[in-house]
Structure formats: structure tokens, C-alpha cells
Chain A
């Protein structure tokens, strides 16, 4: 029944199983704080027992039932009696249910609860990263350039609201699902981006976070095959397909234009493209923002070389996207596409107009785009000034190195 008595890799086990075990313990115990305590008690017990007794055949089920047992134990000793209502006591005391088949559902329950619209929008993101993805409060604070106590307080308040207002731990009913889906998709995409292009720090990508977001999106798209859920999944798969091409071995940023397209993951592109075709076919004129962005990404993916990119189609898709979701960042992306279609001068006029509006004044990518267009136009001094402005605005080491390299090229 037990594996060889090698010392288990508890770090790897914690990374692989802790979120699933937590999601199920929250359902069984009906309380986030108690579930977290039970999770840690269960891992502590595993670290004590497994090196001597061997790793159980089903570690996940062992951790769930051990965590639950530890909670019952605390209940019996009266430590947490005041915090448990009759419902919770009944759930805890119930005989072992078939755990494993509910576990994926539990992860969905956890996602929908963490992304509940009755929670503050910032708290939804913090809580999802903390509970669903297992980031520490410090990591979340770093990712969002926020003070640790601010994030900690957001999480504490969100948990208090879940408990006090009785936000149920469940996947919404089919009638509620479309409305509730919007906030879930928003949070998933934020998590993906945190893993794909962290806003600061030394590493350009954190594959595990993006992988987690994709895994959650797959589950969602399977449960709810709606165009926007499929669109978001396709968008993330298409971004992900370029992961190994977008940074050099030394961690330097490589632009889409300069990427070695042979490194693009064809399987992910095929999956993403098939998904987006299906999503666009069923959405028709009602295609949402994620599906449209995925469609743009798919146009890039199908171009064998940068020169064969269908920029006219990309500009057209940005036009539709802007109607759906007006935003200066999308206008900036459209301006870059226009530059590729009509030449750098046409793009620069649009970028300068956007910068003059003020909203993108401190947005590093706007200055980087301006710098690149000036560089292509041979306006060296303007390019240099814009790169320096972009450099001052970015905290991400690979982006800094990229800009510094461009500056060195201009100086040469």
C-alpha cells in the first residue's frame, strides 16, 4: 500500500496539492481560517509520519481526511467550539464521502467564492492569488506594488465578509453563471498576466502562475462552454505558445517581430486557434473582448514570418475591440498595428496623440512604442529620449536590459 521509504519532497507536494486540499477542506469545514489551519496541521502530520510510515497511496485523500480529523479533534477539545455552527459540526462529523470526485468542483467553488462580486474588486484578486494560487501575502504585495499590511487587510476583510454575509461556497446556478463569470474571467486573466509578464522583479515569466490560470480557465471552459470563457482560454494559450521564444537564455526580452517562430509551441497554437474559431462562430457579432484579443493573437500565430502578418486584419480586429471596450491601451496597440500596416510615421502620429491625451503619460509601453517608431524613422534623439523615459518607468529587469540594449544601439 505504501511507496518506498524515500524522503518525500514536501515542497513539491505542497505546491501540487495544497490548493486542492484547501478547497475541499473549506467545503468540509465551512470556514476559510479553520480550513487553512487544518491544511497546515495535515501537512505537519505528513512531515512527521510519512518519512517513517511511507507515503500513502493517495496523498491528497490522506491530507484531506487528516486535516478534517485535526479539525474534529480541535472541535472536541473545545478550542474552536464558538466558531462552529451546527451545519459545520454536521459536515465535519459526517462519515467519509467520496472525496476525489468532488475535488475539481471544490476548486471551482473556491474560484467563484473568491471572485464573488459582493467582494471588493481588489480583494477578489488578492484572495484568488492567496487561496486558489497559494501565493503568500508578501508575493501578492510585491506583484501589485502594494504594502504587505494593505494586502493582508484586504484578505482578512474579504474572509470576514464571506463569513458574516454568508457568501455560499458553491458554483453559481445556470441563471447566475453568466454574470458571475465576468468577474472570474477578469481575475483569471490578471493571474495569468502576473505569471506571464510580472510588473516588476528579476524574472520575466512565472510559468507556474500562468499554468495555474490556464488550468482554471480550462476547467471553466469545460464547465461553461461560453464564447468568452473559451476566448480567454484561447488568448492565454496563444500567449503561452510564445513563452520560450519571448525571452533569451539570459532572460532578455525578445519582441514578437524578432522572435524565432520555430520556438512557438505549435500544439498550443493549434488548440488556441481551434478554440477561438469555435468561440467566434458561436458568438458572431457578440464576440467579447477576450475572444477578440485571442483572434488578434491567432492572426500573429498563423504568420510564418513577421512580414507575412496580416496587419490589415489586425487593425480591423482592434477597431471592433475598441468599440466593445474603449481603452487607451488598446488604442496604443492599434497604433502599433497601424504603423506596421501603413508605416512608422502613421503610427507615430497616433501614439503622440495618445500621449498628449495624458492617460498614458506614465505608461512605460507607450514611451517604448514611441521610441521604437522614432528609431525606425531615424529620429535618434527623439528615440533616445523616449527610451530613457520608458526606462525610468519600468521595474522589470529584462525590460530594462532590452531598453538599455536599444539605447546602446542608438549610441553606436
Chain B
């Protein structure tokens, strides 16, 4: 059986969680074979909501805010930029009755890898 584990938090508390700890956990759970896919997301301020109503595309800033709407699925897509992501999102069938929140993925692994490399370089040069 597959399960989706959704991560919610108050973004103000994000600094309490070092990226390093999250990536270390991620490496472990992937090795265990339990993890199929995982990503960190950019801040909610980078969110865009896409809807299709009567054949017309509606694009708005911010996350979806309809309390009557519940999370029903997800697509992780690869797109050239936000415009292409919006076009793709608008074709997802539930966009016609609900909302698709488009959030960019935060490259947390790359950031941590760079930090690790920088630390190694400092140690070697010391």
C-alpha cells in the first residue's frame, strides 16, 4: 500500500529545522526502500493557484483558500518555467471544478550538498 505523507508547518518555525537534518533523514528513508519521492517546497508566498472555469484560465497569486476544498491528489511535474507549469496545471481535470496550487520545489538537497562541499574545502585548506 502506498501512502502520501503531507508536511504542514508554520513557516515561521522553519529555522528550527536545519536543512542538514532533513536531508540526512531523507537519505536514510530512501535507503530503507520506503520512500518513493520526497521534496521540500518553496515558501507559500511563491504559490500560484490555477483554475479553469467555463473554458477560461484563471491565475491568481497565493495558495488555494477555499475551505470547502480538500486535497485530492498531486502531480509532480517538470516544466521550463512557471508559465509552462500553469499551462500543464490548467489541463489537470480537477482544475475545472477545484483548484491546482502550483508550488515550486526547493532544491534542498543541492543546497545542502553545496554547503557540505564548502565545509570540506574549508577543512582541507585549513
Contacts and interface: CB of A to CB of B under 8 A. Distances in A.
Nearest to A157: B45
A161 B46 contact: yes
A16 to B, nearest CB: 31
B54 to A, nearest CB: 13
B27 interface: no
A219 B30 CA distance: 53
Interface string B43-57: 101111000000011
Contacts of B43: 160, 164
B82 interface: yes
A167 B104 contact: no
A117 B42 contact: no
Interface in B26-63: 42-43, 45-48, 56-57, 59-62
Of the listed residues A117, A121, A157, the one surrounded by the most CB atoms of chain B closer than 10 A to its CB is A117
Interface residues of A, number: 19
Contacts of A160: 43, 45-46
B48 A165 contact: yes
A160 B80 CA distance: 18
B61 A119 contact: yes
Interface residues of B, number: 20
A117 B82 CA distance: 11
Contacts of A116: 82
A165 B104 contact: yes
Contacts, number: 51
Nearest to B87: A176
A115 to B, nearest CB: 12
Nearest to A162: B82
B81 interface: yes
Interface string A44-76: 000000000000000000000000000000000
B81 A161 contact: no
A168 B42 contact: no
Nearest to B42: A164
Interface string B93-109: 00000000010100000
A235 B80 CA distance: 37
A121 B46 CA distance: 14
A168 B82 contact: yes
Contacts of B102: 165
Contacts of B61: 117-121, 123, 161
Of the listed residues A161, A165, A167, the one surrounded by the most CB atoms of chain B closer than 10 A to its CB is A165
Contacts of B67: none
B83 interface: yes
Contacts of B83: 167-168, 170, 172, 176
Interface of B: 42-43, 45-48, 56-57, 59-62, 80-83, 86-87, 102, 104
9 contacts: A117-B60, A118-B82, A119-B61, A164-B43, A164-B104, A166-B104, A168-B80, A176-B87, A179-B56
Interface of A: 116-121, 123, 157, 160-161, 164-168, 170, 172, 176, 179
